[in-house]
Amino acid sequence: MKDSDSDKVFSDAIAKFYERYMVPLIFEPYAADLANRLATRSHNHVLEVAAGTGVLTRCLASVLPDSVSIVATDLNQPMLDHAATLGTKRPVEWRHADAMQLPFADGTFDAVVCQFGAMFFPDKSKAYSEAHRVLKPGGVFIFNVWDRIEENDFADIITKSLESLFPEDPPRFMARIPHGYYDGTIIKRDLASAGFTTTPQIDVVAARSRAGSFRDPAIAYCQGTPLRNEIEARDASRLDEATDVAAEAIARRFGRGAVDGKIQAHIVKQTKE
pLDDT for the residue 32: 97
Q: Which amino acid is at 61?
A: A
- Average pLDDT estimate for 21-31: 96
- Average pLDDT estimate for 46-53: 96
Query: Per this entry, what is the length of the chain?
Result: 273
Residue 166 pLDDT class (50, 70, 90 cuts): very high
Mean per-residue pLDDT over the chain, rounded: 95
Could you give the angle at the alpha carbon of 25 between the alpha carbons of 131 and 148, nearest 5°?
60
pLDDT for the residue 10: 57
- Average pLDDT estimate for 23-51: 96
pLDDT for the residue 14: 84
SS3 content of the chain, % helix, strand, coil (to 5): 45, 20, 30
How does strand 201-211 pair with strand 93-96? unpaired
Contacts of 247 (CB under 8 A, 6+ apart): 214, 215, 217, 218, 219
Q: Domain residue spans in the chain?
A: 3-271
Residue 1 pLDDT class (50, 70, 90 cuts): very low
Signed CA dihedral, 92, 95, 100, 102: sign only: negative
- Average pLDDT estimate for 237-245: 98
pTM, rounded to two decimals: 0.94
- Average pLDDT estimate for 184-188: 98
Q: Are 130 and 106 in contact (CB under 8 A)?
A: no
Which of 102, 119, 109 lies closest to 49 in space, CA to CA? 102
The enclosing H or E element of 249 equals: helix 239-254
Q: Are 160 and 153 in contact (CB under 8 A)?
A: no
**CATH match for 3-271 among 3.40.47.10, 3.20.20.150, 3.40.50.150, 3.90.25.10:** 3.40.50.150
Residue 16 pLDDT class (50, 70, 90 cuts): confident
pLDDT for the residue 90: 96
pLDDT for the residue 15: 82
C-beta atoms surrounding 36 within 10 Å:
11
Signed CA dihedral, 143, 145, 147, 152: sign only: positive
Strand partners, 266: 145, 204
